[in-house]
Structure 1
């Protein structure tokens, strides 16, 4: 087995000699939890980016297609470590432009970005001194992607975060000794690597430290791979404190620990580390009185997979954004760029539709709170600063929109068409709005309700 890893002694020698590169020199005001979470709670909408060596595979190997996400190609398509190492050596995305990526996110109405610094395959998108299995050493590209995206995000006023996998199919002290089923530990908790504590101490933590000390403020740290038995709740709590010591105001998801209930994403009963829950590919049926963020794909895969053509419509994505906000959550919507560094055209079209809608209706989303009312049949409510916003998914055939009877209405107006008149009919069952058909929008129409 070819192991692309520097020795532990060399790694720590480098950490010691780099000095300021591995220390937080500036004094940072430590915010309270509510202050620290404020920007994230107001942002509501972010971009997830799954990108790496797997993006040139596209989820296919001969006639075989990876089931599930294409980012799992190493496991699902039965690549040995030596076979898979050929893909980082070919990963040369010359069309990647960090400024363009961030601009597309910003134009779509997204307020933050989370990029995969290292997925389960173990290949890093930054200049790591702990390992040479990264973009600078194992790839011909030789540009620090995390650095470029972090700088582009700050320049355009977008918050920046990193996804980091606890799992590592390449490292021999993690899952790199489990071929042909690198992820056996997901379903069988008896499958462990007794050397995992050394990987955690000498590789995982030092790489996280690089990301938290060499790239300025990291606004979100998004962990994954918490399901393996090797990773313990004690490790998770230690990792959480380790990060907060370096960057006290960073926000960290609950997958840093062992508490989440599967795809539901929220924590079990108990004392677990993490700042927000992570429902995956699903939206809770009702609101949750905790911070949470639903992460979703635009089609069915996180990584680039041209064979997957089951794209969610722009209407569906906009309605999902509204549904999530109405229940008090955030929406982290995924993009899977190809191996050249391009967003798929299907993703670009949907980002454009989301941007057009949020340009007109963002007031009802950013900084909005969960609905104080049950979900109406015709759509959703959000609230902000004493105002209720009615998001109409299903336009009433007769133009009559019945509001919750608890709403004491003063005035109603369309958010994107302030010139249109809405007549009010106050009944014993509640206020009924008479909506002019000419004000119906393509995907979701928003009515501002002044109380």
Structure 2
């Protein structure tokens, strides 16, 4: 009985700590993902051949030997990198947190670590620590900063998973790699780059031992209790669920979850990938994700020179303009409490006492019908201007008289104030 009560108290304490830890993330809704590393140099091309797939997997796809890939460090000199500019781009886009790759699957470390010389400070002519610079600017600007860390795949380390063209898998000691390399590097990130808002792990579904996921979680909890851990740490040890890459769930989901999404078709920079999403598409994706209860982590892949590609910047600026007007319907909003028909002209987000109807296909006949309203509506108005709209409510159905032309061609937000 005493043991049961102790466990109950401990679980309650952990839940209380999690609620505190997740508070800012639940309000944020929109973040910037940054994939940047040596792979930005070949930019999808190796030995004059375009390599299929996403840019940051070029070492794996082309089966580039470690010694050959290492030579890219001699070319990594992103003199146009400017941490202040990157944070400014994120802020102007309306993003509330940033997550950058500290170590991706190729094993190169974009931070100064004492556990390998294969890092940006010791191995490149650049000789600077981008994570340290970003951390400093983010603190100054009030931007939350997190780090992506590949804890399972590492094509450079002899004991890491994934590289079977340089190393014999039968001779690998993954547990040694994890305890002598992964855990110490995570400790470095948490102590040398504090505060770390979030640790974003990947491919945790291939982590063979649950106890390693638990060890890693406990390490983070002990060193930095306020650091959020994403779901891909593996074995259920994360604070929230990570959807598949570019995968939006079909229906509303309970709990905390996030969609990582590319702005074009790759995460790491590819020189010939110009398949950019339009600003309108990004806005509608963001609204859909929030309407179903999640966060959107939208990726940019900077160039080898250290610049976020101009098309990405231009798209994000337009998204930011929309959010500046309509942010109330996104930040801190919850999933739609009403059932929205699959063929509806709108999506819905909510806050206490308010429903935000995001009209993505304007009704040309001058009337918008909204269904499943179980509370009395006392006022209807356009979020952008405050202009009130006439409406009638019959049971759970609402009919709203709307202007002939949409105030916003991408997403006009109509606010329903509830009694």
Would you say same fold, with TM above 0.5?
A: yes
Tell me what 1:197 maps to.
175
User: Alignment partner for residue 409 of structure 1, among 373, 377, 399?
Assistant: 377
Tell me what 2:362 maps to.
395
User: Is the partner of 2:122 in helix, strand or coil?
Assistant: coil
Gaps of 5+ in 1: 1-29, 185-190, 259-271
Tell me what 2:331 maps to.
366
Q: Shift of residue 397 of structure 1?
A: 1.4
1:254 aligns with 2:218: no
Tell me what 2:140 maps to.
155
User: Is the partner of 1:318 in helix, strand or coil?
Assistant: helix
Q: Shift of residue 404 of structure 1?
A: 1.6
Tell me what 2:242 maps to.
278
Could you tell which deviates more after superposition, 378-387 or 97-106? Answer: 378-387
CA distance in 1, matches of 2:352, 2:117: 51
> Contact 1:174–1:193 at 8 Å: present in 2 too?
no
Equivalence map 1:401-440=2 (5 Å): 401-407=368-374, 408-418=376-386, 420-427=387-394, 430-440=397-407
User: Alignment partner for residue 100 of structure 2, among 82, 105, 115?
Assistant: 115
1:450 aligns with 2:417: yes
Q: Shift of residue 276 of structure 1?
A: 0.8
Q: Shift of residue 227 of structure 1?
A: 3.8
> Contact 1:65–1:77 at 8 Å: present in 2 too?
no
Tell me what 1:172 maps to.
158
Q: Shift of residue 192 of structure 1?
A: 6.1
Tell me what 2:254 maps to.
289
User: Alignment partner for residue 232 of structure 1, among 182, 204, 209?
Assistant: 209
1:208 aligns with 2:186: yes
Tell me what 2:310 maps to.
345
CA distance in 1, matches of 2:211, 2:250: 32
> Contact 2:205–2:234 at 8 Å: present in 1 too?
no
Tell me what 2:54 maps to.
69
Q: Shift of residue 99 of structure 1?
A: 0.5
Distance 1:426 1:31, change over 3 A: closer
Tell me what 1:5 maps to.
none
Could you tell which deviates more after superposition, 152-161 or 375-384? Answer: 375-384
TM-score by length of 1: 0.85
CA distance in 1, matches of 2:172, 2:78: 37
Encode CA deviations 1:56-85: one digit per residue, 9 max, x unaligned. 111111343222210011111221001100
User: Is the partner of 1:136 in helix, strand or coil?
Assistant: helix
Q: Shift of residue 278 of structure 1?
A: 0.8
Gaps of 5+ in 2: 1-14
Q: Shift of residue 43 of structure 1?
A: 0.4
CA distance in 2, matches of 1:253, 1:414: 36
User: Is the partner of 2:355 in helix, strand or coil?
Assistant: strand
CA distance in 2, matches of 1:449, 1:428: 15
> Contact 1:102–1:152 at 8 Å: present in 2 too?
yes
Tell me what 2:264 maps to.
299
User: Is the partner of 2:296 in helix, strand or coil?
Assistant: strand
> Contact 2:202–2:232 at 8 Å: present in 1 too?
yes
CA distance in 2, matches of 1:289, 1:163: 25
TM-score by length of 2: 0.92
CA distance in 1, matches of 2:202, 2:323: 29
Could you tell which deviates more after superposition, 325-334 or 307-316? Answer: 307-316
CA distance in 2, matches of 1:135, 1:306: 22
